[in-house]
Amino acid sequence: MARIDRLPEEPKRLLQTAAVLGREFSPRLLQAIWEGTGLLEPVFLELQRLEFLFERAGVEEPTYVFKHALTQDVAYESLLTTRRQRLHTIAGQALEHLYADRLEEAYDRLAYHYARTDQAAKAVTYLTLVAAKATQGYAHAEAVVTLQEARRHAVRLSAETRDRCVLDLVVHQAECLFYLGRRQESVTLLLDYHEPVQQLQDAVLASAYYRCLAQNYSFLGQREQAAHNAQRALEEAQRGQDALTTGRAYETLIVEDFFAGHLLQAVEHGERAVALLEHTTNRIVLGRVLNFTFKDSD
């Protein structure tokens, strides 16, 4: 802190601004959020000479790196909260502009910045996208942490969107916990939101909720609870009249039929599921249903 305080005003402001971008940052992004005057290159050279920063060659452009993580932390904490939030907002907007045609590459950085602003909707949006990307890569532990953070921001959303968004995040998190083998934790999380699910009256979301409960109960060996929730998932899906949701609910029922030894019923449910899923674009669920249906019919 003493070393930073001894800097002239412009290098000090640049160091603080850069600290908002993280340990490593591109000069192009810093230029986009810089509110000072004059050329940045001489200031960069001075900060390199004083060993606050060093330059690293990059694929697209060179990047600057704080020589010590502690330097970045101190520079960041020296900013007033309001200015820090403003810089994070500007950084998020700059990233959206710079990566407009390939936004997926910047999801993690967009989530990082908007999660540190008062823009709850954007924070939830990008955190959810980061979690979805992690899930696709089977990084379920990372997804759980990201979804927990998204839920903290979701409670600040407007009343019209808050409840559905929170429940959607809860179901997604419960699914990740399921794949991590944390089934009882997943059930506990879901049961905490049973009343809000009933109040919301969103058939598609409710079906996903009960389907996730059924899957967890199934792996916990609680057959009666698994079958009950699988049936509830189907009832909600049929109420919502969504082919994919109904097909997935049938898939959950097929698994329970199989474990209960009701093979003819499983085949019947499988045929109904196939008829629905053939008209959707989700070939993965269709493939799983066909696998179980043919296995049962054999």
Map out the domains of the chain as residue ranges: 1-79, 99-199, 201-298
Beta bridge pairs of residue 283: none
Overall pTM surpassing 0.75 (yes/no): yes
For 104-132, what is each residue's pLDDT tens digit? 999 999 999 999 999 999 999 999 999 99
Neighbours of 288 (CB within 10 A): 17
What does CATH list as the number for 99-199? 1.25.40
1-79 and 201-298 share one CATH topology?
Answer: no
Which structure tokens are listed for 236? Answer: 């909600």
Residue 297: count of CB within 10 angstroms of its CB: 12
Mean pLDDT computed over 73-93: 95
Torsion angle of alpha carbons 111, 19, 10, 53, nearest 10°? -130
Angle between helix 69-77 and helix 9-21 axes, rounded to 10 deg: 110
Task: For residues 2-31, give the mean pLDDT.
Answer: 92
Report H helices in 241-262. 243-260
Q: Is the pLDDT of residue 297 over 60?
A: no
Residues in the chain: 298
Number of neighbours of residue 209 by Cβ within 10 angstroms: 27
Residue of 94, 84, 83, 159 whose CA lies nearest to 120: 159
Report the sign of the C-alpha dihedral through residues 192, 195, 201, 206, in that order.
positive
How much is the pLDDT for 279?
86
**Hey, what's the torsion of the CAs at 172, 144, 147, 137, to 10 degrees?**
-70
pLDDT band at 262 (very low <50, low <70, confident <90, very high): confident
pLDDT at 108: 96
Q: Which CATH number fits domain 201-298: 3.40.50.620, 1.10.1740.10, 1.25.40.10, 1.10.1060.10?
A: 1.25.40.10
Quick one: fold of 1-79? Arc Repressor Mutant, subunit A (1.10.10)
Matching residue, tokens 């499988």: 270
Sheet holding 53-56, edge to edge: 24-25, 63-66, 53-56
- Radius of gyration of the CA atoms of the chain, in A: 25
Say yes or no to pLDDT of 281 above 90.
no
